[in-house]
């Protein structure tokens, strides 16, 4: 699980309407994520979304995010504060487990590159460590992506209203 915190101060040319800011933010979120729910209210609301599937035509989403958004504004100034969390979905965890299981099963075949029958070498251990490092790297990349996307959305929001 990864925590998401972001904020943006928006200074406009005219008085800012909080409902317009919410609408613009949600529309930009829909382009970056698959938004599932949007809470009521203009000053404080929550959004639940999942990431777009990145395994070709797979239906599973790699992560889920829950955000609490607070928008405070007076006249020409508004401040958007976002607090939330991102976590890997169960489908992604199952995908990694099945992948490792398939590698172990393939290693039982005679003549396989990886020997999982109990008589493996240091090279076999090195291959499994490499696979583990890839999984850790991929999970971390998936958990950082929502924070990066939200920061981009906030900067575009600032450009749109500022």
Q: What pLDDT was estimated at residue 57?
A: 43
Characterise 86 by phi-psi region: left (phi > 0), alpha (psi -120 to 50), beta (else): beta
| CA 48 remoteness from chain centre | 11
- Is residue 22 predicted with pLDDT exceeding 90? yes
- pLDDT tens for 26-60 read 999 999 999 999 999 889 999 999 988 765 545 67
Phi/psi at 52 (nearest 5 deg)? Answer: -70, 140
Nearest to 3 by CA among 80, 67, 52: 67
- Is residue 63 predicted with pLDDT exceeding 80? yes
- pLDDT tens for 104-146 read 888 777 777 776 666 767 777 788 888 889 999 989 998 999 9
**For the purposes of burial, counting CB atoms within 10 Å of the CB of 22, is it exposed (0-12), middle (13-18) or buried (19 or more)?**
buried
- Is residue 70 predicted with pLDDT exceeding 90? yes
Domain ranges of the chain: 2-161
pTM value? 0.81
- The whole-angstrom separation of Cα 101 and Cα 160 is 49
């Amino acid at each position: 699980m990864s925590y998401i915190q972001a904020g943006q101060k928006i200074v406009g040319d005219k008085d800012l309407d909080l409902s317009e800011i919410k609408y613009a933010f949600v529309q930009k979120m829909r382009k970056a994520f698959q938004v599932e729910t949007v809470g009521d209210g203009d000053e404080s609301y929550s959004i639940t979304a999942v990431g777009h599937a990145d395994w070709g035509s797979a239906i599973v989403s790699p992560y889920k995010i829950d955000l609490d958004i607070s928008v405070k504004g007076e006249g020409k100034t508004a401040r958007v504060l976002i607090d939330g969390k991102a976590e890997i979905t169960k489908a992604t965890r199952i995908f990694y487990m099945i992948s490792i299981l398939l590698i172990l099963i393939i290693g039982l075949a005679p003549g396989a590159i990886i020997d999982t029958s109990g008589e493996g070498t240091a090279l076999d251990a090195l291959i499994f460590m490499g696979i583990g490092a890839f999984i850790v790297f991929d999970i971390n990349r998936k958990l950082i992506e929502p924070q990066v996307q939200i920061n981009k959305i906030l900067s575009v929001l600032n450009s749109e209203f500022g």
